[in-house]
Structure 1
């Protein structure tokens, strides 16, 4: 905001940041060795500024992340319609994750 005043980094912010960092990087979030027989789920999303995706695998313990991918849009891509940005995110994620999903059925969430 134009006249917003930064109040500094609070302990509540620090705790939330550390909790998020811990949840995204520690077990049982990541799946180190994907199972070729279990289903894969690709979730993609796009905003006005970038796109990203998460490749997950359903296991007996629940959904496990295999890989996160993201990319910032260039100035031309930022002008795309919402539908075009969502489609670009899907195509880009599939291309980026092709070594994981090639020849396998996947479920796609957008």
Structure 2
């Protein structure tokens, strides 16, 4: 269970196959600070997303993960750790393309509480592993009903 008074560390990574994010929190256990996991998420990329460049893919990962973990992050201070500088520039890009503009708007509510830090990829292997072994996109409820009940 997370402590809502302690800032989160939010690791994100995108790979050619998927998106991954790991939410952690630093806690004091036996007078030692340890970083413990709170939540892990991943998904495969969609066919249209496969055409994105590496920078766009990392920005997509941030936007998707913020949406999925909104319950944890809304109103909480957190640090986003990524291996891509483009994620930092997403907030300040003056001439964004249509995807970037939409993403800028969607993350505005987090700007006050979010600090984006670029670090080497070997710092956050947790999110890197999740992006490479992403879970398949879940089926829509209609397709499941059709397959199970309407044969």
Superposition TM-score, scaled by structure 2 size:
0.50
| Structure 1 residue 46 corresponds to structure 2 residue 21 | no
1:8-27 aligned at under 5 Å gives the runs none
SS at match of 2:64: helix
| Structure 1 residue 74 corresponds to structure 2 residue 46 | yes
> For 1:39 and 1:59, how far apart are their aligned partners in 2?
10
Runs (4+) off by over 6 Å: none
Q: Which has the higher contact order (CA 8 A, sep 6+)?
A: 2
> For 2:4 and 2:51, how far apart are their aligned partners in 1?
39
Aligned-pair CA distance for 1:85: 0.2
> For 2:74 and 2:58, how far apart are their aligned partners in 1?
21
Q: Partner of 2:37 in structure 1?
A: 65
Unaligned runs of 5+ in 2: 83-151
RMSD over aligned Cα, in angstroms?
Answer: 0.7
Unaligned runs of 5+ in 1: 1-32
Q: Partner of 2:96 in structure 1?
A: none
Aligned-pair CA distance for 1:82: 0.2
The number of equivalent residue pairs is 78
Aligned-pair CA distance for 1:45: 0.1
| Structure 1 residue 87 corresponds to structure 2 residue 55 | no
